[in-house]
Structure 1
Amino acid sequence: MPQIIFLPHPELCPDGAALEATSGETILDVALKNGISIEHACEKSCACTTCHVVVREGFYSLNESDELEEDMLDKAWGLEPESRLGCQARVSDVDLVVEIPKYTINMVSEGH
């Protein structure tokens, strides 16, 4: 069973976390079911960039991003070559190290 290591994030997981994942799950779903509340304003439909993550290790083991995800990522804050939308990046059988960016671009956030 692969593991996702979330690096510390000041608000969402200050101590970081090492979580078990199932192949085929998205990074976002693993985070949410374990209490890491990564924002997902479009409800996981690949229509925003609020679940943007940077995959520091294991990036090439993920499913390939499609054109829609690539277009959305172009709008993400702090875009890096290893950036993915957490709602689209599916875990394989390889461990991952994931960083949640400090900021997100969200024009309207109902939680605030």
Structure 2
Amino acid sequence: MTRIIVLPNASLCPDGAVIEAEPGESICDSLLAGGVEIEHACEKSCACTTCHVIVREGFASLEAADELEEDLLDKAWGLEPQSRLSCQAIVGDKELTVEIPKYSINMVSEVKR
């Protein structure tokens, strides 16, 4: 198991979280399984940016983003060099620290953040 440390997010996990993730799973699936209800409006098909996370530690252990993910990330709110779409970033064997941005761009969300 690989540990994912989720930094505090006012609406999703105010105290932060520590999740044990299965290597080979996406960060998004790991967060959802760990009780962190990150948005994923496109059902994890790499068609939106609602599952955007910033990988604060462990970024180099992830496989590089493909061109489609990079193009979508350009549209994400709060883009940083360590940004990834959590539905596309696959957990390896190195611990990760992730931050879920305060806002996401989701035109259909009924969830208020």
TM-score, normalised to structure 2, is 0.95
What corresponds to 2:89 in structure 1?
89
Identity of aligned residues (%): 70
Specify every segment of 5 or more residues in structure 2 that has no aligned partner in the other structure, as ranges.
Answer: none
TM-score, normalised to structure 1, is 0.96
- Name the CA shift for 1:45/1:61 in 2 (closer, same or farther; >3 Å): same
Q: Which runs of 4+ in 1 moved over 4 A?
A: none
Specify every segment of 5 or more residues in structure 1 that has no aligned partner in the other structure, as ranges.
Answer: none
Could you give the per-residue CA deviations for residues 22-76 of structure 1, whole angstroms, max 9, x where no partner exists?
1111110011011111000000000000000000000010121100000000000
Cα-Cα RMSD: 1.0
The aligned runs of 1:1-112 (5 Å cut-off) are: 1-111=1-111
- Native 8 Å contact 1:63 1:91 kept in 2: no
The letter for the 2-side match of 1:44 is: K
The letter for the 1-side match of 2:13 is: C
Matched pairs, number: 112
Distance 2:110 2:16 in 1: 26
- Native 8 Å contact 1:56 1:96 kept in 2: yes
